[in-house]
Amino acid sequence: MHFADEAEIKVQAGNGGNGSASFRREKFIPRGGPDGGNGGDGGSIILQADENLNTLVNFVSQKHFKARHGQMGLGNNKYGAAGEDLILKVPVGTIVFDAETGNQLADLIHIGEQVIVARGGLGGKGNANFKSSTRQAPDFAELGEPGEEKALKLELKLIADVAIIGYPSVGKSTLISRISNARPKIADYPFTTLVPNLGVVKVDQTDFVVADIPGLIEGAHEGKGLGIAFLKHIERAEILVHLLDLTRENLTDDFRKLNLELASYSKVLAKKKQLIVFNKTDATISEIVGQAAKDFKKYNPLFISCVTGEGMNTLLYRLKDEVLAHRRKKKTAKPKEAFKVFRPHLEIPDARNFSIEKTNEGFRITGKRIEQISIMTDISKKGAVFRMHDILEKIGAYREMKKMGGKNGDKIQIGKRTFSFMDLG
């Protein structure tokens, strides 16, 4: 398989490294001050739109991706190294969804655009951070935060300025190979082109992307021929070149039927601007050309031959004008100039943003930051557990739990961890 426009993948960001719990060792001082350094942050997983790709096929063969973990901190205030981010390249036009919630995380429509799909875990703080007037010798450090894990659905909708559509064998691939750098297969049997091809066309100073779409036939929306699987790639094109073949029997019929197929796929497509182009002037007689010109007069059609090159310049300048007019109208930046990083995790978590609910055994506290602190607490160390209770006191969680009837022995569930209610007075 050389083409895929859908894929489901799993991504796992790196864990943060554990902080170090260490004490300075010096001659004659049995136990110096705490000097445990922080663990490094885990690597994140980032998707980046790349102009050289036009398929998601790489994500069909490989589906699991992991970024590197952060290193743990060491004594003598040494920080652990951060885990490297993993950058996965996807074609421009890839839409990224969270497969579980169905939420759209990003639509990578410009070259270089990125989305951070799974955030690396925070490195744990070393015990040097926990020294205070009441805590001279903290013997605990934070654990590294686990990296985010996500199931993603990727969907590719190619981004082309112009899409060439039409019946099989009308010369769509021949046309794109004549006007762009694309070199698709060309042959005189129907459905030669099995997947869309993209090519870049240059007219004077203007660059634009043209897509050659596999041939459509009557009944495509019911699955005839190659069906309508590729129509989604036309949706984002601003201009459709509707290519007709002068050597075919009934051109008005061809035209009408193809438009019906578009309309039965989507209203957006039905309304899209079409440039009507008749191909193969070299292979027909002037009477036929004249008749077509008359029948299609209101569409202001063009006549070309991909063999002799007749009409090619007129077509190119018409396309350039249309593309430029459209770009002006939309005032969109030229693709190469735009660059954006989507950060679905941008909100800065604050431990005071939490909520409490009663459970059978006590309470459940939820909140991004408090859950993060919870998972990073080394519950094998008393000092670390006390710090957790301290934080719950400071952010007002204890006050609320008491109001709700909390007493010693109740369980407090925070994320994946459970603590015991401890009335500190």
- Interacting partner of 17 out of ligand GTP, Mg ion, none (Cβ under 5 to 8 A depending on kind): none
Q: Does 283 bind ligand GTP (CB under 6 A)?
A: yes
Q: Does 282 bind ligand GTP (CB under 6 A)?
A: yes
208 or 278: CB nearest ligand GTP:
278
Strands (E), 138-272: 149-156, 162-165, 197-203, 206-212, 239-245
Q: Does 180 bind Mg ion (CB under 5 A)?
A: no
Q: Does 306 bind ligand GTP (CB under 6 A)?
A: yes
Q: Does 171 bind ligand GTP (CB under 6 A)?
A: yes
Strand order in the sheet with 114-118: 86-91, 45-50, 114-118, 341-342
Q: Tokens at residue 302, please?
A: 């063009």
Integer Cα distance of 325 and 239 in angstroms: 11
Q: Does 284 bind ligand GTP (CB under 6 A)?
A: no
Under 8 Å between Cβ of 317 and 206: no
Please state, as a whole number, how many other Cβ atoms lie within 10 Å of the Cβ of residue 265.
18
Integer Cα distance of 117 and 341 in angstroms: 11
29: CB partners within 8 A, 6+ apart: none
Name the segment binding ligand GTP (CB under 6 A); options: 62-70, 195-203, 290-298, 302-310: 302-310
293 or 338: CB nearest ligand GTP:
293
Interface residue with Mg ion among 104, 192, 259, 291 (CB under 5 A) is 192
Q: Minimum distance between the CB of residue 369 and ligand GTP, rounded to whole angstroms?
A: 56
Interface residue with ligand GTP among 18, 127, 279, 374 (CB under 6 A) is 279
Name the segment binding Mg ion (CB under 5 A); options: 165-173, 248-256, 278-286, 377-385: 165-173
Q: Does 186 bind ligand GTP (CB under 6 A)?
A: yes
Q: How many residues bind ligand GTP (CB under 6 A)?
A: 23
Binding residues among 195-214 for ligand GTP as defined by CB under 6 A: 214
Q: Does 192 bind ligand GTP (CB under 6 A)?
A: yes
Q: Does 247 bind Mg ion (CB under 5 A)?
A: no
Under 8 Å between Cβ of 304 and 174: no
Using DSSP's 3-state secondary structure scheme, residue 108 falls into strand
Taking phi over 0 as left and psi of -120 to 50 as alpha, with beta for the rest, 83 belongs to: beta
DSSP codes, 6-31:
EEEEEEEPPPPPPPP--B--BTTBSS
Q: Does 193 bind Mg ion (CB under 5 A)?
A: yes
Q: Per DSSP, what are the bridge partners of residue 212?
A: 164, 197
Q: Minimum distance between the CB of residue 65 and ligand GTP, rounded to whole angstroms?
A: 34
Residues that bind Mg ion (CB under 5 A): 172-173, 192-193
Can you give the binding site for ligand GTP, defined by CB under 6 A?
Answer: 168-174, 186-188, 190-193, 214-215, 279-280, 282-283, 305-307
